[in-house]
Amino acid sequence: MRRLSLVEWLGDGERLALLGDAGCGKSTLLRVIALDLLYRHAHFPEVGSRWGQHFPVYIPFARWSSHVARDGNPICIKEIVRRSLEQLLTSSIVDLLDRAIDDQRVLLLIDGLDEWSSEQAARVTLSALVVTVEAHDVPVIVPGRPRGLSRIGALPAGWKRGTIAPLAAVQQASITGGWFGRYASSAVDDADVSETKLRTSRFMAELARDANLGTLATVPLLLIGLVTLALRGQILPRVDSSVSQLAGNGIYFLSLKGTSMVRYVELSTDHQFFMRCANERYREIVVDQVATSGALLQVHGKVCLAFELKRF
């Protein structure tokens, strides 16, 4: 296995499966590609030169499979596109999209192959996706988490697969510096640039002192959460090793005023569960999947940083 740039990996495939754990940027990548194709090709000019004449069609797999579960029958790509866009576009434009699919002038961006509520509906939807891509010979990019995807079936052997690599230290520093620079004083001068570099160096040094914290920082979503704490003047929390090992599997809270994680659990309950726990004043904070990724919450007088990492 070797590490490639994204542009290099995208360069020689028409059916691309992008694998990665929660928070690594799979959905963000699809949105950036779609917007870049629709605008000036500023971020990925190589992708623009290849697919610049294609119309990006973004469809969440969860939405598609939920329609299949509700109807009890397979739904083709044209139908789910029509259902998704008919309230936003005129029927004539939707008809143009139909013809674009027939003419092989679309780039399908099917987000979240691991996100579904009915396993049987997800299997049917995945089969419909594969049939559509093979029959119409259209390019497609499909991201998902490996374990979630493996439960509903395998993609054809000819589809190119890649795994998003953890952020290297230089990438972490680049992202961190961008955030610190963005929130520097509006009148940018040499002093502000130096202050941004100093804050970035201090932040990276703090990550280097804690191996578990450094492990979390290899995930873009978690790194940005930690940067947010630094921007708010908060001390970075100390993280139990079990959190970094399980970071892709559940939901956890980090206490900003303590020295360790409050509690880590994996639950699948109704959306009121967290509020009931808070109202009943549990000694330990227990959360479910209503937590918003990167949200700052205050529970029982403790300010906490919540990350939503869906379990399989």
Give 95-122 pLDDT, tens digit per residue: 888 889 889 999 999 998 888 888 899 9
Distance between CA atoms of 216 and 182, rounded to whole angstroms? 22
Tell me the three state secondary structure of residue 107: strand
Q: Where are the domains of the chain?
A: 6-163, 167-235, 237-312
* Higher pLDDT pick, 276 / 32: 32
pLDDT band for 259, please (50, 70, 90 cuts): very low
Across 81-101, average pLDDT: 81
Looking at CATH, the fold of the domain delimited by 6-163 is given as: Rossmann fold (3.40.50)
Lowest mean pLDDT among 82-96, 182-196, 254-268: 254-268
Q: How far apart are the first and last CA of the chain?
A: 26
The answer for 182, left when phi > 0, alpha when psi is -120 to 50, beta otherwise, is: alpha
Q: Name the E strands within 78-233.
A: 106-111, 140-144, 160-163
- pTM, two decimals, is 0.74
pLDDT band for 12, please (50, 70, 90 cuts): confident
pLDDT band for 30, please (50, 70, 90 cuts): very high
Across 145-161, average pLDDT: 82
Lowest mean pLDDT among 34-48, 171-185, 251-265: 251-265
pLDDT of 11 higher than 70 = yes
Tell me if 32 sits within 8 A of 48, measured CB to CB: no
Tell me the three state secondary structure of residue 110: strand
pLDDT band for 189, please (50, 70, 90 cuts): low
Look at residue 186 in the predicted model and tell me its pLDDT. 54
> Which range has highest mean pLDDT (164-173, 190-199, 216-225, 287-296)?
164-173
Distance between CA atoms of 86 and 238, rounded to whole angstroms? 49
